[in-house]
Amino acid sequence: MAEEGRGFDKLSQVGALGISSYRADFPGIGDWHYLDTAATAQKPQVVIDAIARAYGPDYATVHRGVYARSADMTLAYEAARRRVAKFIGAASENEIVFVRGATEGINLVAQSYPEKGRVLLSQLEHHSNIVPWQLAGWQVDVCSLTSDGQIDLDAAEAMLTPDHKMVSFAHVSNVLGSVLDVERAATLAHAVGAKLLLDSCQAIPRLGVSFTNLSADFAVFSGHKLYGPTGIGVLWGRAELLDAMPPMHGGGAMIDRVTFERTTYAPPPGRFEAGTPHIVGVVGLHAAIDYVDSIGLDAIHAHETALVAQCRDALRSMNSVTLYGPENSAGIVSFNVEGVHPHDVGTILDEEGVAVRAGHHCCQPLMEYLGVDATARASFGIYNGPDDIAALVRGLERVRKLFG
């Protein structure tokens, strides 16, 4: 693994559009043209090794055992919490709640935030940032998008009222790759007394962020999109907000004292982590953060930005292809081929060894807004390079020949 701070040099030695030597770190890639990182990232060997150790010679429960290995695993678990806090710019490790993924994190806030009312979403939100608010009984308002697929913050400003208790926006769209102006979104929310929650699943693997400095109030992300394991994610919330929220789940580990008459709860983050946690997932997430940090998010973002530009230029030259989203999208390019369903596009590309996502991407309201049933989506990661774009173009040429 590269030493911290040397990642940009390692990428730049082969050029921003070159295949970096990091590709060899991912045993699941080989000669496969994997362009579905926005769905889930492939795992580097260091993460796989960390998981194997955690399930093998290091394995024990946490927060319970008095024997040495349990104490050691507890130290590793809480060290991961501190690592996450540092990585995302949290004020304290106690602002880091381990959850199953971003979906559970949003559900937790939607259910537990004490001041329910109106929530403002946008037209591009993932279903996981729509359904939880509906289930929890919030009144949902929706702001529109700009012509190039950004959340229209002018429209949001016009819609916001003191009845809005929450604004919940995608930090980076999983379909369009558009990047939210977080500072302005926070200013608008706070001006009416609302809080800002960020769905940062696509932002965390691509953009260096400090949520405290960005003036957000809550943020969520999933480990498996950050080159880590599935089944683990993070809810970050400002300490005073978490302290005012009751737990969503009850059970062991999240209590202060239990009687049959009354139960009192542990302070955050413990009160939100009922039951035996995903110990190995937390250890794997720590390893993934170390790996990404060793390369540098600035280097990763520059690499993906260059790939997006090359991909959009290549697809734009094909007159039967429609592109969606802004030119400066973060690591994601969605498109359609005229007269061909995205599922057919994805199937033919798979025959060419190219993996893309095809469908509504858990964004059915956005598809309706765009006037399509689905799109194909290419999304990039550390391991991608120009050969992946060339393979995508070759596959699309075959699609055009097969469908005339």
Spot the catalytic one: 143, 201, 311, 362. 362
DSSP string for 109-151: HHHH-S---EEEEETT--GGGTHHHHHTTPEEEEE-B-TTS-B
Which residues touch 231 (CB under 8 Å, ≥6 apart)? 100, 101, 223, 224, 278, 281
Q: How far apart are the first and last CA of the chain?
A: 47
Which residues touch 147 (CB under 8 Å, ≥6 apart)? none
CA quadruple 338, 341, 346, 348: dihedral, nearest 10: -80
Backbone Cα Rg of the chain: 22
| Cα–Cα distance list, 173 to 100, 129, 191, 312, 324 (Å) | 21, 11, 24, 17, 11
Distance CA(52)–CA(33), nearest Å, equals 26
Element at 43 (helix H, strand E): none
Which residues touch 148 (CB under 8 Å, ≥6 apart)? 178, 325, 326, 327
Half-sphere exposure of 371 (CA within 13 A, CB side): 2
Q: Is 143 a catalytic residue?
A: no
Distance CA(226)–CA(374), nearest Å, equals 25
Instruction: Please provide residue 324's backbone torsions phi and psi, each rounded to the nearest 5 degrees.
Output: -120, 155
Distance CA(45)–CA(47), nearest Å, equals 5
| Cα–Cα distance list, 182 to 13, 47, 93, 219 (Å) | 33, 31, 22, 11
Tokens matching residue 336:
């359609």
Distance CA(352)–CA(344), nearest Å, equals 13
Distance CA(319)–CA(397), nearest Å, equals 11
Annotated active-site positions, please? 362
